[in-house]
Amino acid sequence: MGKLIYLDNAATTKTAPEVVEAMLPYFTEHFGNPSSVYSVGSSNKEVITKQRETIAKALGAKTDEIYFTAGGSESDNWALKATAEAYESKGKHIITTKIEHHAILHTGEYLEKRGYEVTYLDVDENGIVSPEAVEAAIRPDTILISVMFANNEIGTIEPIKEIGEIAHKHGILFHTDAVQAFGQVPINVDEMNIDMLSSSGHKLNGPKGIGFLYIRKGVKIRSFVHGGAQERKRRAGTENVPGIVGFGKAVELAVASMDDRIRKETELRDYAIARIEKEIPYCRLNGDRTRRLPNNINFSFRFVEGESLLIMLDMKGICASSGSACTSGSLDPSHVLLAIGLPHEIAHGSLRMTLSAETTKEEIDYTIDNLKEIVAHLRSMSPLYEDFMKKQK
């Protein structure tokens, strides 16, 4: 094929050409500081407001409930740390789940070291958080519930509306990390009872290093960065104007193409899942089959090492991701795959492929043809597989 087949859109996406084009003038002629009095600066204030409007509209939120940040990790940190501080007189208990992104999990650990108590809820074998379990974990001193909208590894979409309803019934704030979901699936913060929501530009064909935290009016939350009066005094620092413009454009494009993209990606996803299940033995689909992001495919292949799989796919020009964190210097399998109950050795043989709107059936066919050969090849070198096959006879 010669061309790169990029199936790692949950890690990051290609910045859309329209986004790059929209950003460029804000590096050159419109370079001014939005806080300045003269017009090359102050006109950028209106530009930022316009992007805020675009984003707020996509969520059913109000314009002044959107606060720009430097990405999903910052938004998650802000939501947890600053509400924890603001509500500590009410209590110091937070509820989250075992399958959150590290931006939530490690912030939870940070807070635990500072006297907060964090409950990490289990999920079922498909990665779904049960609203009943959320309710059962609520205590008089619970101040915040944070459950991700959709999981970045296995694509499972959580019952956000129901969990939000429970949070509100008990007068508790509800935050969701929607970094994987915003722009991919419809979200409405009012209908879904969401008080805070994290998002990041580079997961939806926008630029890296820009994100936002939606904060419902009336939520008490401490400022995250102290300094100037930017972001209504809650997050100081000269605005990332090109980033904000690019993010706004990306959201505009995502909203306009959402229905089409969901239809196309879902069809391709289900085609790929069906082919893999039919043609590669001893595999397991990870994540819920239907309550699932339209672009997520995640499989475990028994008797195969995920890292070897990735390297061999890379040699065929295919970019995917594995279920272990070896690349980040640890040999532990993914906490998400362990949380859905996979044994270590099966979690290690996992592969995540995440599609984009541009992914074609030809690319998927090429990928699965190669995957089939690579899995068979790796198994042919596995003594465990050999033993297993002998016992089958």
Closest distance to ligand PLP from the beta carbon of 177 (Å): 5
Residues in the chain: 393
Closest distance to ligand PLP from the beta carbon of 190 (Å): 22
For residue 51, say whether it is annotated as part of any ligand binding site. no
Fill in the per-residue mask, 163 to 202: x = in contact with ligand PLP (CB under 6 A), - = not in contact: --------------x-xx-------------------x-x
For residue 201, say whether it is annotated as part of any ligand binding site. yes
Angle value at C-alpha 275, between 266 and 343, nearest 5 degrees:
90
* Residues 384, 320, 125, 262, Cα dihedral to 10°: -150
Q: 9, 146, 152, 184: which one contacts ligand PLP (CB under 6 A)?
A: 152
For residue 184, say whether it is annotated as part of any ligand binding site. no
Dist. CA 369–CA 290, nearest whole Å? 25
321 binds ligand PLP (CB under 6 A): no
CB 10 within 8 A of CB 152: yes
Structure tokens at 109: 């650990």
131 or 201: CB nearest ligand PLP: 201
The closest residue (CB) to ligand PLP is: 72
For residue 72, say whether it is annotated as part of any ligand binding site. yes
Closest distance to ligand PLP from the beta carbon of 165 (Å): 22
CB 35 within 8 A of CB 238: yes
Burial code of 202-236, b = ≥16 C-beta within 10 A, e = fewer?
Answer: bbbbbbbbbbbbbbbeebebeebeeeeebbeebbe
Closest distance to ligand PLP from the beta carbon of 11 (Å): 7
Q: 148, 167, 297, 355: which one contacts ligand PLP (CB under 6 A)?
A: 148
DSSP character at residue 235: B
- What are the beta bridge partners of residue 120? 96
Closest distance to ligand PLP from the beta carbon of 209 (Å): 8
Closest distance to ligand PLP from the beta carbon of 272 (Å): 21
For residue 180, say whether it is annotated as part of any ligand binding site. yes
211 binds ligand PLP (CB under 6 A): yes
Look up 326 and say whether it is catalytic.
Answer: yes
CB 261 within 8 A of CB 354: no
Task: Name the catalytic one among 326, 335, 341, 345.
Answer: 326
Q: 81, 93, 101, 235: which one contacts ligand PLP (CB under 6 A)?
A: 101
Environment class of 147 (CB within 10 Å of its CB; exposed 0-12, middle 13-18, buried 19+) = buried
348 binds ligand PLP (CB under 6 A): no
Fill in the per-residue mask, 50 to 79: x = in contact with ligand PLP (CB under 6 A), - = not in contact: ---------------------xxx--x---
Q: Footprint of ligand PLP on this chain (CB under 6 A)?
A: 71-73, 76, 101, 103, 148, 152, 177, 179-180, 200, 202-203, 211
Catalytic positions = 326
Q: Which residues are annotated as a binding site for pyridoxal 5'-phosphate?
A: 72-73, 152, 180, 200-202, 238
Q: Which residues are annotated as a binding site?
A: 72-73, 152, 180, 200-202, 238, 326
